[in-house]
């Protein structure tokens, strides 16, 4: 497997476009509607936020994907279409605009939104923009689609991989957005994945569920799970490999590549947390189960005090142990080792649950790097897990203090 260019257009038969339609009426320079289209029908699946309050597009997409088939994705930024008047009607209208322009059933359209909650979305500007979006569709416009779904993101997030399945070249590409309101069990994240692999609807669903569990559900920015989170995948089969209909070797190859791609996108979202200066990677090893290691690592990356310590480049390892202790996982604190690591080096700060004398200046140097690793060893087994988060800064408060206005 290797990384390639192209994002959601890397796979055969996929085109994309992004355009400012006017959803974000105050910012005419920002693209705010994205469209992704396959040349033929795809097997498709999606996963959604576990927040009980779900945005209208999620309900509509879930209904449309009951048959496991899709052809296009339309997504907007600037308005979440969540808890808004006539929300599902508006989401269905967006699907209808695409269906009419492409000559396909509206049920074959996936719809997603992100932005401010509780406000009525202006579907008339989207209706006016869809014909132009269709004209712009091209296999070179993944970046435009990636730009159109950004909200407070500071960097575009897209990636693509190429691999071989059954002697055929298969490609998987994706774009995502996410910077704030991100917490395990989906993050405000949207992710759209395309592939030319031939894979059945039940298997693409299984692959997505397996992948999300070990990638997007292992990141946290601020502890808030959004109303709009969605990750959708479409597979059009144009690579020509024998269709994957069971969990065999071809399935494993596909899932491993899909997970690698999504892990890359997940890390980029964590690194681009609102106002963040540091990506935090926490690895818990020596656990007696992956589940325990994951529970502890999630607790550490979600800890506000740990985030604040990393922001201040303060090797305050006590905050790490504190977050471990309230994680809900059972472990022996007397066996825990903790180290901090970055490109500037590695320093152990805790051994067998007790503090060590360490060079504070060296620790400070290590913690000023853009990516900080928190390495935790439990010494009770062979299982491990890595999760990703970011520090919390003054800028996070500024961004969210007036997000709506």
Q: What residue spans define the domains of the chain?
A: 2-271, 279-401
Q: What is residue 271's DSSP assignment? A: H
Per-position pLDDT tens, the chain of length 405: 999 999 999 999 999 999 999 998 777 789 999 999 999 999 999 999 988 999 999 999 999 999 999 999 999 999 999 999 999 999 999 999 999 999 999 999 999 999 989 999 999 999 999 999 999 999 999 999 999 999 889 899 999 999 999 999 999 999 999 876 666 666 568 999 999 999 999 999 999 999 999 999 999 887 767 888 999 999 999 999 999 999 999 999 999 999 999 999 999 988 988 888 999 999 999 999 999 999 999 999 999 999 999 999 999 999 999 999 999 999 999 999 999 999 999 999 999 999 999 999 999 999 999 999 999 999 999 999 999 999 998 888 888 887 666
Q: Which residues are catalytic?
A: 188
3-state secondary structure of 3: strand
Count of beta carbons in the 10 Å neighbourhood of residue 316: 16
Spatial distance between the Cα atoms of 264 and 196, rounded to a whole number of angstroms: 20
For the 2-271 domain, the top CATH level (class) is alpha beta
Spatial distance between the Cα atoms of 166 and 249, rounded to a whole number of angstroms: 10
Please give the structure tokens belonging to residue 60: 């509509």
3-state secondary structure of 258: helix
Domain 279-401 falls in which CATH fold? Answer: Ubiquitin-like (UB roll) (3.10.20)
330 burial (CB, 10 Å; 0-12 / 13-18 / 19+) is exposed
Number of alpha carbons in the 13 Å side-chain half-sphere of residue 377: 12
Spatial distance between the Cα atoms of 100 and 109, rounded to a whole number of angstroms: 11
**Tokens 């190859």 appear where?**
253
């Amino acid at each position: 497997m290797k990384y390639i260019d192209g994002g959601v257009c890397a796979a055969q038969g996929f085109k994309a476009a992004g355009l400012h339609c006017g959803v974000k009426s105050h910012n005419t320079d920002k693209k705010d509607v994205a469209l992704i289209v396959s040349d033929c029908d795809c097997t498709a699946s999606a996963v959604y936020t576990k927040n009980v309050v779900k945005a209208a597009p999620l309900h509509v997409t879930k209904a449309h994907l009951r048959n496991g088939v899709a052809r296009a994705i339309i997504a907007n930024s600037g308005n979440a279409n969540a808890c808004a008047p006539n929300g599902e009607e508006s989401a269905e209208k967006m699907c209808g605009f695409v269906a009419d322009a492409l000559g396909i059933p509206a049920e074959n359209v996936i719809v997603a939104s992100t932005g401010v909650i509780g406000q009525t979305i202006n579907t008339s500007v989207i209706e006016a923009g869809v014909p132009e979006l269709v004209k712009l569709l091209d296999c070179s416009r993944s970046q435009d689609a990636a730009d159109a779904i950004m909200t407070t993101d500071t960097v575009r997030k897209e990636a693509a991989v190429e691999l071989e399945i059954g002697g055929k070249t298969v490609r998987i590409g994706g774009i995502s957005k996410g910077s704030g309101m991100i917490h395990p069990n989906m993050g405000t994240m949207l992710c759209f994945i395309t592939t030319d692999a031939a894979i059945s609807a039940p298997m693409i669903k299984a692959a997505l569920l397996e992948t999300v569990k070990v990638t997007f559900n292992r990141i946290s920015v601020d502890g808030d799970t959004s109303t709009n989170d969605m990750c959708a995948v479409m597979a059009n089969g144009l690579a020509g490999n024998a269709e994957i209909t069971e969990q065999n070797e071809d399935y494993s190859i596909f899932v491993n590549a899909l997970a690698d791609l999504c892990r890359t996108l997940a890390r980029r979202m964590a690194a681009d947390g609102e106002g963040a200066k540091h990506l935090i990677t926490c690895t818990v090893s020596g656990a007696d189960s992956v589940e325990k290691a994951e529970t502890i690592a999630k607790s550490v990356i979600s800890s506000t005090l740990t985030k604040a310590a990393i922001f201040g480049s303060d090797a305050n390892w006590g905050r790490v142990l504190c977050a471990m202790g309230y994680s809900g996982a059972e472990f022996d604190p007397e066996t825990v080792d903790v180290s901090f690591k970055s490109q500037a080096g590695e320093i152990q700060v805790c051994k067998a649950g007790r503090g060590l004398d360490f060079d504070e200046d060296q620790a400070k140097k290590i913690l000023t790097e853009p990516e900080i690793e928190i390495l935790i060893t439990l010494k009770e087994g062979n299982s491990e897990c890595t999760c990703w988060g970011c520090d919390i800064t003054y800028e996070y408060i500024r961004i969210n203090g007036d997000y709506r206005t």
